[in-house]
Structure 1
Amino acid sequence: MSVVGKQLNTLSTNNDINAKDVRETSGKTSMLAKFISPSDVLNLNEITENYLCSIHDNIYDIDFTRFKIRDLDSGAILFEIAKPSNRFSPNLEDKLIEAAGSMSIDDSVDANAGRYVRYQFTPAFLGLKNVGATVEFTVGGKPVNNFRMIERHFFRERLLKTFDFEFGYCIPYSRNSCEHIYEFPNLPSELVSEMIACPFQTRSDSFYFVENRLIMHNKADYAYDGGLLL
């Protein structure tokens, strides 16, 4: 049974808004605040259409460098990705500086490109019960207190599951690694079939908080039709 997934092209979007004047209306929930708190996102009843914070709100310079998911029952690695090393040869560094000097604004990469990721798995992924997600990340010059992630998964307008994980305290200039356990819900067979038949309509919001203030917001969508002949 194959459940190995792959990351497809990273999506880019210009839908970036500042949390200082955000208004996110979702069903009966409306937020207008100087910053977004965990209770704000837990009260949302649908996927967000926009980012609820700016990339500049990550004042702690938290950078995710490696991500791996595995089936806890079999131990099989389902997906793994890591950022390339920052080590450059002198010649390559000179070329990069030269290229940056001649780059126009239109040539620059969308600042949000790394915030939205698309994944594709086989249908067998929906049959898994317990998945471990290992993440490695670095921290800048500020200490990180009460680092927390809330991740919410939706299929269309239906909330599938909310995951709430604590990273704890991270010292400045540290490299950190932890594994969180995802316990997947039992989904009705009709819903599973619909999720397989409707790729990328399963979506998630990942909200990252430090001291109960939103500093990062990433989005993803998923397909479960990998390996099927369409």
Structure 2
Amino acid sequence: MERIQSDAHMETAVRYSYFSSIDQMDRHVKQHRRTLTWQSTEDAVLCLLARRSLSYPGTSWMKVKTIAAAVGKSPRTVNYALAALEEKKIIRRIPVMRETNGGSSSNVIAILPYAADCSPSPADRQNAGTPCRAGAEASEASGESVSLESLKQEKYKYMSYLNFSWLIHHKWKDNCVKHGSAYMEKVVESLMREYEYRQMKERLRKPRPRRVPRPAFLDYNWLEH
């Protein structure tokens, strides 16, 4: 039974691993911790999950009692912290079902990417045809959609639709997040910041028009002429 449960956890951990290396995971955890209160229960739980997520970067499975004993908090407090981290899109809990007796065991906890610069896991590369198509199917399945037209607000009128579309495809090709609607908001926010930065650099590179000096008026006595 233990072997069956362990195999199920490993398979789930590999499937939901959002990071290709431990260094990449550490960078995202560092960004997540900046949004949390220092030395809070949430911060302690996140650090513990990162330390236990080395075999499969970003994923681990521990019971709530084990986490509570490690951080020195009660199981109830740890449950609140896990729920808060999941609500803030920092972690995701994936229930693992046992193959026998139909019962559930400890959850696999996956640390989510902070921004849109995470490579998809091997399972995603096999299941997804193309990144853009996979993201669209996930959005349709969850009833959510992201439209570029909705991003054309007053302060973004200078943006080019074609350039922005190219940037999205470029971002998805090189640095992809897990293809799900839950992360589309972070993807779009990251793209908007990067596009604004590129637009600002483009404007600064353009030569400024030179001021034409005004002609100096000579002293002229209008009364004598």
Question: Which of the five TM-score ranges fits, normalised by the shorter chain?
Answer: under 0.3
TM-score by length of 2: 0.21
Per chain length, whose mean CA-contact separation is higher, i.e. which structure has more relative contact order (CA < 8 Å, sep 6+)? Answer: 1
Q: Which has the larger radius of gyration?
A: 2
More helix by share: 2
More strand by share: 1
TM-score by length of 1: 0.20
